[in-house]
Structure 1
Amino acid sequence: MNTEDNFFTKKKQQFGISLNDVQKQAVLHTDGPLLLLASPGSGKTTTTIMRIGYLIEEKGIQPSRIKAVTFSRASASDMKERFNRFFPDHDSSSVDFSTIHSLAFEVVREYLYKRRVTYQLIEGNIDTVQKKMILRDLFKRYVAESITEDQLEELTTYISYIKNRMIPRAKWSKVKCDVPEVQRIFEEYERIKNADPNKLLLDFDDMLTLANDAFENDERLLIKFQNRYDYMLTDESQDTSLVQHAIVEKLVQHHMNLYVVADDDQSIYSWRGADPGYLMKFKQVYPNAIILKMEQNYRSSKDIVNVANQFIKRNKERYDKNMFTENPHNKPIVMKAFDDYRYQSKYIVEKIVVKDSLRDVAVLFRNNSSSIMLINEFDRAGIPFYMKDSDNRFFSHWIVKDILNFMRMTFNDRRLDIFEQIRTKCNIYISREQMFELRKMSNNQSIFDNLLNRKDLKDYQVEQILEYKQTFFQMKGNAPLLAIKKIRNQLGYDETLKKLSKRFGFKIDYLLGILETLEEIADTLDSMEEFASRLKHLEAVMNASKFNKNKDAITLSTFHSSKGLEFNTVYMIDLIEGVIPGNDEIKQNREEDFKLMEEAVRLFYVGMTRAEQELELLSYKKQYGKDVRRSQFVTNVKNIISPPVLVQKAEAKGKEKRVKPIIPYNPNAIKSLEELHGAGTIKHRVFGHGQIIEMNEETIKIQFQKEQKQLSLSTCLEMGLLEVVGE
């Protein structure tokens, strides 16, 4: 038995670790660059740990000469724990496990120390000047409004994207961002941080860009770090940004002993600057690289693996891989479309209450806002849950505060402090001068009566104020659901939101969604006081859910945060067009820019491959009273599981026969009614070119060259059978 076989045999006997042939190749190929493409559930962490152990035990490499870069601190801790378990005779602290940010910080600290430049972190430390505080102040200065949490997140994402992709200042304006005055804010933000050349203010992204600059400008420093390690390993490299790749490239220039674990099919962080295209060009960067594919999935049933493998193939910018499993079949993937979105969370509760183990169940969604309805239903049913990366912005959102303030006005219309908070959201016009005079009055009378006593009011103002006064009076004592409906309709709050959305670039559907969620929470409650208490209770329950980690509780997670996790049963929810894929992804795909759509496909794929045995894909037909369409991704899955049946004529006999064709993905296919309206000549996948004669909600009549056909509109859209070919 040779040394290599002895190593693997020993680990199998000690810990039951058995590697397949590709995993063994990855462990044994120690010299030179290696790209290991690891499909979901293929055992990449075990393979990586075994490789580190092989370097130490069989090749005699000093542990301190090995650098392992992980995507997060949690991943670094997990790798250390597994290393200790597999190789108890070696101290994991001697192997340098860390995040790329930790490595960059070490470089920056030494680089600035040599130049006698001090620095202050403005991110991640509550005792320092905060990054968000600076950005809030700048937004207020340039926009004359307070920035919302959603805008702040978009702004910080914009800044991070530019730095991680190393975009030069001249091209900043080409990066899409809906935040007003975003470029002026960013430029001033950078100026503030660099105003004092002897004391820099640094955020986390600055760590990366400055570390890369340090290696470019200080050759001695670069050589010092290059000489520190003989072997470098990077994990989750599909989520590594371009500046992070640049740092790694510089570190391995001498020895080129680079081991990269990645899956281009799971690259879902382009908004952070990650780019799967880098992996596709890996051989250009490292011409002598070996590329291995770990395609065997040990996690999921055949039902899930086979469908997920076919689904991801709709993407073009990817390595040709075929994920497979030797696990048995279990249950087919379930697809449900409810009549209304409100039935979705109730259905999940019904399914979960009969589960023996909640820790084996996860509900996944694209947006954190989807979790609120679930939390409300779970709390009512007494179902414990763990909210991964809990986000309580819903409960602190300005719309929630507005609704509560409107309700408070029904109890006491003398509260000027409350009225001032909602004045600009009211569908009445009151000038600054009138408000100034109102503040000077202290007669403890109704705000509306004080306004009506003014002599300078226009007739339309008097009419508006009287209407508001009467509506607030009528709302007093109403059930909260009825009160919210009156706020939205009679007080014109919905119309106000639409105007604000046009002015500031808010997403109106998202804002209206918050109101619909509030209505769902208000349903069954008797009083507005009870409603306010319910909101506080749900916020407390969500915040406390972090203590349910590792307990028998269901996991709630976004698709992004679920990566790396696995569960016996997974429910993927809110699978409708406009959510996944999102409207921007659909629009850009229509314009033949496929990058965003391909990332949405990868995100859906990540969600699917979290499931071990049971996977359910949930959608609905109506949301907030409007018709919606299920995600085209669900349609893809449906067609993979059960290819559509078409009726064709057998050439020889002239008889009809039923066949199940595989429908290839057509990126130019019409996916929405809007695209059909006003279309000229269209092309049908089977019948060729034709002109639309008539169309209603269910059917479309088309005149083809030889005959006229009336087809199912939903089938044509869901299967991607039509495309526009010109006038």
Structure 2
Amino acid sequence: MTPAPHSVNLEDLDPDQRAAALAPRGPVAILAGAGTGKTRTITYRIAHLIDQGLASPNRVLAVTFTRRAASEMRHRLQTMGVGGVQAQTFHSAALRQLRYFWPQIAGDLPWRMLDNKFALVARATRGAGLDASTETVRDLISEVEWAKARLISPDQYAESLGQRTPPQAADKVAEVYRRYEQAKNTPEGFLLDFDDLLLHTAGALENSIGIAEEFREQYRTFVVDEYQDVTPLQQRVLDAWLGQRDDLTVVGDANQTIYSFTGATPDYLLNFSRKYPHAAVVKLQRNYRSTTHITNFANTVIGKATGRVAGTRLTLQGMRQGGAEPEFRTYDSEPEEARGVAQEIKKLQHKGVELKDIAVLYRMNSQSEAFEQALAEAGIVYQVRGGEKFFERPEVREAMARIIRAQQQGAVPAVRGADLGGVVRNILAPVGLDSQEPEGARARERWQALRALVDLVEELGRATPDLDFEGMLAALRERASAQVPPTMQGVTLASLHAAKGLEWDAVFLVGLVEGTLPITHAIKADDEAIEEERRLFYVGVTRAREHLFCTWSKARQEGAKATRKRTRFLDGLMPEPTPSTELTQPDRTRRRRTCRICGEPLLSPAEKTMGRCEDCPGGNEEVFEALRTWRAGVAKDIQAPAYIVFTDATLHAIAEALPSTPEELLAISGVGQVKVQRFGQGVLEITTQFL
């Protein structure tokens, strides 16, 4: 076997990490708590096995939960001088294998990937006599995927539900499932969805001795990350890969089991020592990510867990001193909560925390809207994780095309490593990458994307000093394929599920109310569903390095009745809540302001924006109508609802104030810096006509 180019220095690891890296070949379970360096540990383990001649790089298959994690593992191994290791997701590994073995399975019978199953499931839904609305079809797609991940056939579906509540009557779901599977067998060949890749790969290895022998000769050492979230279908594939062998390392944390809704189960991690009685089990509990204040709070959160996972918990040992205690905020309404979070972010900025190191995390994607609006009005740049993908942004596509064209034309100097960043910066200068960040939200966003691309090139060059221009392009293409974006300046907005595996200096866990976290359908289900929501909260807490804010609101809309209850997961874990009225007295007075005409209290959001009761005369209807006409045109141009530009209440306030300068416009409630930059000129052109 070929050893790694240079020996692995295990002194870089702590005692527990070193024990995991040095564990002998054979079954090994690494129980790794949040922030304990699990990726570092398993890459060192792989490198050590190769360095000692116990494994060959091209005989190792490392399986990760996401393409991003696979890309990161390959990158880390390469920086250690270890190349050739296959690091892939279950699906990408199965796709590669199936393409290779298909002729032995089915001869020349054609097949192709079904990238989007919506149309077929919609047709099956109509065939089963159900309404094929978008929402219904999406629910049924999720249900079919859950059943396949659990190795449940259409005939077994109804009897396998247990406590699970199906989106439609069980017999109807089974019929949709059955019709969908039948529809994939076309006269032109098979259509295979992502779950079929795993089913056919497992079937090929289980049913063909020749295929199994050829595969097992190629891959002899296996590593599986995030093992707590493996599905029965994925475990079947893993068992088929292994055969009777046990050269397997699994890494996971049952406390972070948050994907049961997809069919995942922690049972395989929990039962690993039963399946392999001679397995080595190592716990990683030293947390290097978060301060002790945050790790102590996280331990308290998960310490209240019950059920099958509770007995296996890891206790995090915070290795970072200092930092602030977690803070708690309650607000009267969701918009006030969003504005309050924006104010806290401003304070963090003043303390030197960069926007890219701040995240706002929520349970449901629909919660992002209020925070997007509040951040925009506060002039805070943000990015929504799961929104537009970095490498698909127009400016990034244009930048990549220019970089490729420069290489094709031979217009790049022969430099390597970090010096590549300067070359790329020069190539992108003509498309807006100046030395100074520009004014204006859109121009600034474009500039930051280009700057992030250059920073990524420099990062790749520093990691691989002999990296040339062609190698840099290959690395960028791999990043784009794996959807691994560079870090951009701006606050991250993300769901708690999307935040798994990420970390920030400051984290805001928002919308912490009953019915949202835990979510309503979990409350209606059973205790285990509630416990998964608790683990989701725990995952959110452990994303924070130094600052943690937990916030919630009593009502959805301003002026609405306070009917919301704070999440049960904070019961007994915090001091009495600090209400939004803890803000300074001037702020409280401002929120309770009275009508400037009749003196009565202002109750609704619209009244507070206008500064008067809705029934009191406001005047300037001509200005208001002119502004409405202008707004309609702008909304059409940007393809957005009219209220995204300005609400009617804000237009009334503008019409009555008749601002003549950006500063006067900014002083009006509902008008933030970003909106002044985007729409201020158009507004002032109208208002100044009536002065």
Question: Smaller-chain TM-score range?
Answer: 0.5 to 0.7
1:294 and 2:287 aligned? no
Instruction: Name the CA distance, whole Å, in 2 between partners of 1:586 and 1:259.
Output: 36
Residue 365 of structure 1 aligns to which amino acid in structure 2?
A: Y
Query: Could you tell me which residue of structure 2 aligns to residue 178 of structure 1?
Result: 167
Residues 36 and 260 in structure 1, CA contact (< 8 A), matched pair in contact too: yes
For residue 198 of structure 2, give the secondary structure of its aligned residue in structure 1.
Answer: helix
CA distance in 2, matches of 1:632, 1:123: 42
Q: Is structure 2 residue 406 aligned with structure 1 residue 385?
A: no
Matched, 1:69 2:63: yes
Provide the rounded CA distance (Å) in 1 between the counterparts of 2:56 and 2:314.
35
- Say whether 1:333 aligns with 2:326: yes
User: 1:461-500 alignment to 2 at 5 Å?
Assistant: none
1:348 equivalent to 2:341? Answer yes
In 1, Cα distance between equivalents of 2:217 and 2:230: 23
Q: 1:48 to 1:542 in 2, by over 3 A?
A: same
1:107 aligns with 2:97: yes
Q: For structure 1, list consecutive stretches of 5 or more residues without a partner in the other structure.
A: 13-17, 125-129, 393-537, 643-727
Residue 65 of structure 1: CA displacement? 1.4
The Cα offsets for residues 382-415 of structure 1, whole Å up to 9 and x where unpaired, read as 21112111289xxxxxxxxxxxxxxxxxxxxxxx
Q: CA deviation at 1:195?
A: 5.0
Alignment counterpart, residue 504 of structure 2, candidates 547, 567, 588:
567
What is the alpha-carbon distance in structure 1 between the residues aligned to residue 204 and residue 576 of structure 2? 51
Q: Deviations over 1:495-539 (max 9, x none)?
A: xxxxxxxxxxxxxxxxxxxxxxxxxxxxxxxxxxxxxxxxxxx99
Q: CA deviation at 1:623?
A: 2.3
SS in 2 for 1:560: coil
Q: Work out whether residues 305 and 609 of structure 1, in 8 Å CA contact, stay in contact via their aligned partners in 2.
A: yes
Please tell me whether the aligned partners of residues 164 and 209 of structure 1 are also in contact (alpha carbons under 8 angstroms).
no
Distance 2:196 2:446 in 1: 31
- Alignment counterpart, residue 131 of structure 1, candidates 117, 123, 131: 117
Aligned CA-pair RMSD:
3.0
Question: Hey, what's the Cα distance between the residues in 1 that align with 2:443 and 2:167?
Answer: 32
Q: Which residue of 2 aligns with 1:260?
A: 250
User: Following the alignment from structure 2 to structure 1, what is the Cα–Cα distance between the partners of residues 576 and 319?
Assistant: 20
Structure ID, larger Rg:
1
Decide whether the 8 Å contact of 2:330 with 2:577 is kept in 1: no
Alignment correspondent of 1:620: 553
Pair 241,540 (structure 1): closer, same or farther in 2 beyond 3 Å: farther
Query: What does 1:624-643 align with in structure 2 at a 5 Å threshold?
Result: 624=557, 625-626=560-561, 627-638=563-574
Query: Is residue 255–residue 313 contact of structure 2 (8 Å, CA) maintained in 1?
Result: no
| Secondary structure, aligned partner of 2:103 | helix
Match of 1:45 in 2: 39
* Paired amino acid for 1:371: S
Give matches, 1:596-675, under 5 Å.
596-624=529-557, 625-626=560-561, 627-638=563-574
In the alignment, what sits opposite 1:216? 206
- After TM superposition, the score normalised by the length of structure 1 is 0.61
The CA distance in 2 between the partners of 1:299 and 1:313, in whole Å, is: 20
Correspondence for 2:404: none
Matched residue type, 1:156: I
Superposed displacement of residue 339, structure 1: 1.6
Shift of 1:362: 0.2
Aligned to 2:29: 35
Question: Which segment is superposed worse, 21-30 or 250-259?
Answer: 250-259
Q: Aligned partners of 1:100, 1:335: CA distance in 2, in Å?
A: 40
Which residues of 2 match residues 324-473 of structure 1 at below 5 A? 324-354=317-347, 355=349, 356=352, 357-390=354-387
Is 1:169 aligned to 2:159, yes or no?
no
Q: 1:544/1:366 Cα in 2 relative to 1: closer, same or farther (>3 Å)?
A: farther
State the one-letter code of the partner of 1:43.
G
How far the C-alpha of 1:226 sits from its partner, in A, is 1.6
CA distance in 1, matches of 2:154, 2:119: 23
- What is the one-letter code of the residue matched to 2:571? T
TM-score of the pair, normalised by structure 2 = 0.64
Please list the CA deviations of residues 342-386 of structure 1 after superposition, one character each: whole Å capped at 9, or x if unmatched. 211111111223414101100000100011111122222221112
Deviation track 1:297-332 (CA, whole Å, cap 9, x = no partner) reads: 000001110111121122232214211122113211
Distance 1:248 1:287, change over 3 A: same
- What stretches of structure 2 of length at least 5 have no aligned partner? 390-440, 453-485, 579-691
Looking at structure 2, the residues matched to 246 and 640 of structure 1 have their Cα atoms a distance apart, in angstroms, of 49
Residues 363 and 555 of structure 1 are in contact (CA less than 8 Å); yes or no, is this contact kept in structure 2? yes
- What pairs up with 1:511-550 in 2 under 5 angstroms? 550=487
Give the secondary-structure state (helix, strand or coil) at the position aligned to 1:612.
Answer: strand
Do structure 1's residue 231 and structure 2's residue 221 form an aligned pair? yes
Instruction: Give the partner amino acid of 1:135.
Output: V
Kindly provide the CA deviation profile for residues 231-276 of structure 1, in whole angstroms up to 9, marking residues without a partner as x: 1111111122111112112222343110001111111111211101
Q: Does 1:193 align with 2:148?
A: no
Which residue of structure 2 lines up, in the alignment, with residue 155 of structure 1? 140
CA distance in 1 between partners of 2:573 and 2:112 (Å): 47
Q: Give 2:107's aligned residue.
A: 116
Rounded Cα–Cα distance in structure 2 between residues aligned with 1:285 and 1:575: 39
Distance 1:609 1:243, change over 3 A: same
Is 1:308–2:298 an aligned residue pair?
yes
Residue 520 (structure 2) aligns with: 583
Cα 1:144–1:641 shift into 2, 3 Å: closer
How far did residue 604 of structure 1 move? 0.5
Q: What's the secondary structure of 1:615's corresponding residue? A: strand
Distance in 2, Cα, partners of 1:69 & 1:620: 41
| Residue equivalent to 1:647 | none
Q: Is the 8 A contact 1:311 1:636 kept in 2?
A: no
Task: Please give the secondary structure, in 1, of the residue aligned with 2:290.
Answer: coil
| Partner residue of 1:323 out of 313, 316, 319 | 316
Is 1:24–2:4 an aligned residue pair? no
Q: How many residues align?
A: 473
Q: Distance in 1 between matches of 2:320 and 2:363?
A: 28
Distance across 2 between alignment mates of 1:11 and 1:224: 34
Distance 1:303 1:230, change over 3 A: same
1:554 — aligned with what? 491
SS in 2 for 1:623: coil
Give distance in 2, aligned partners of 1:543 and 1:166. Answer: 46
Q: Could you tell me whether the CA contact under 8 Å between 2:255 and 2:314 is conserved in 1?
A: no
Q: 1:641 to 1:113 in 2, by over 3 A?
A: farther
Runs of 4+ displaced beyond 6 Å: 538-548, 639-642
Closer/same/farther in 2, CA of residues 101 and 76 from structure 1, 3 Å limit: same
